[in-house]
Chain A
C-alpha cells in the first residue's frame, strides 16, 4: 500500500513536471519583452510581484477599488511578508 501511494505521488509530481516543455517554451517567450514606458513598466512589475507573492495562493480579486486595495494589501503585507516596495508595486497593479 505504501509503495502504491508513493508511486501515485511520484506520478503526480512527474505529471506536473511534464509541463516542463511548456515552461521552456514560455520562458523563451518571456525573455522577449522590450523596453516600455515607466508607468506600464511599473504596472508590469506590480503584476509580476503579484504573481510571485499573492498569486502563489489565490487569483487576483475582482472589482477592487483603490481604497479597498489599500486595506487588502496591508493585510497581505502581514500575511505574505511583503516589503514596503513590493506593497506599493502591487497596489499600483491592483488599483492603477
Chain B
C-alpha cells in the first residue's frame, strides 16, 4: 500500500511535465450531511467521499474512492448522551489499462461487479435514496469491494444494442479497512441505448466459509424522451433472496435542471427479502423483511442536492419507520494548475 501511495505521490510531483497537454489529475467527490431517525433513534452523519483520478497517457487510469464517516447518536439508541464515532474504508484503489473497447484490465481494489447497484449507484450524489437495498450484501461479501483483478468491456455492439461484461477474481483480505472475500464471478448485460433499457445477470462463487453461489439479475430503463428512471434487481444466495424496484420521476419533461419543476424528483422504492440459511456476518436481516420508501430530491445549482425520504419496514423482528434528510455537495477540481482551459 505504501509503495502504491508513493507511486501516486511521484506521479503528482512530476505532474506539470506529464499532464501539461493532457488530462490532469483530479480530486472529486462528495460532502454529505445526513440526519436520520430509525425507529425513533436519531443519528447524524457527516460524510466525505473523496475520489482521486490520475490519468496516465492515453490508456492508463488510477482511480480511488474512500469513505470517511462520522456517526453521532445517543448512547442507548433513544436515550443517554450523544456520542460520536468515526469509521473509514477504502472503496476502491485500482489501476485500469484501457486496451480497447472490448477489454479494460483492472488490478487493485475495486467495487464488486455484482448486479449494478454497487458500481453504478453507490456514489452519494448518484443514488436516489440514502439506504442501500436490503439485498445489496448478496454477491458483494464481505465488504462490497474486491482485492484482485478484473476484465471488463463490450463484447459486441451495434447501433441498437450492446453486450457488455465484467469478470473478476478476488483474494481474501482481513486487513482493517481493506477487507475482501475470496471469490470469483462476473456480470453480463445487454444494453439497448435507443430504448434506454438494460437487462443483465450476475454470478458469484464465494470461495470461503463453505463455497456457495450467488446469482442475480437486474434491469434499468430510462426512456430518453421523458425524465423517468426505473431500475430493479433480484439476488439469490443460500442465505436469502429478494428484490427491489425503484422509480424516480422529475416533474418536468426536460432534464435541464433549470426550472424548479425539473429540479424536483419524486422517488419510490419497494423491496422484499426472504431469509434463507442464517450465516454469521452476512449483513442480511435476520428475518423476512419488506420495505417501502418514498423520497423527494431537489437539485440546487452548483451540484448541491437536498434529499428527504420516508420508509416503513415490516419484519417479524419489528416494524419501524425510517426518516432521512441529507444535503450533498459534489465537487471536482484539478490537482495541478495551468494548461489550457
A residues near B, CB below 8 A? Answer: 1-2, 5-6, 8-9, 12-13, 15-16, 19, 22-23, 26-27, 29-30, 48, 51-53, 55-68, 70-72, 74-75, 77-79, 81, 83-84
Contacts and interface: CB of A to CB of B under 8 A. Distances in A.
B332 A81 contact: no
Interface of A, helix, strand, loop or mixed by DSSP: helix
B275 interface: no
B74 interface: no
Contacts of B222: 55-56
Contacts, number: 131
| 9 cross-chain pairs, A with B, having the tightest CB-CB distances, nearest first | A26-B225, A70-B23, A71-B23, A71-B26, A52-B193, A83-B101, A9-B270, A74-B55, A16-B247
A26 B226 contact: yes
Given A68-B26, A78-B98, A63 B228 contact: no
15 contacts: A1-B314, A13-B247, A19-B228, A22-B225, A26-B225, A52-B224, A55-B255, A58-B123, A58-B126, A62-B301, A68-B24, A72-B332, A78-B106, A79-B120, A81-B101
A32 to B, nearest CB: 12
Interface stretch (B139-147, B149-157, B278-286): B149-157
Interface residues of B, number: 62
B223 interface: yes
B299 to A, nearest CB: 7
Interface string B193-218: 11010100000000000000000000
Given A23-B226, A74-B55, 13 more contacts: A2-B290, A52-B193, A52-B196, A57-B126, A58-B123, A62-B302, A67-B23, A67-B341, A68-B26, A74-B23, A75-B61, A79-B119, A81-B152
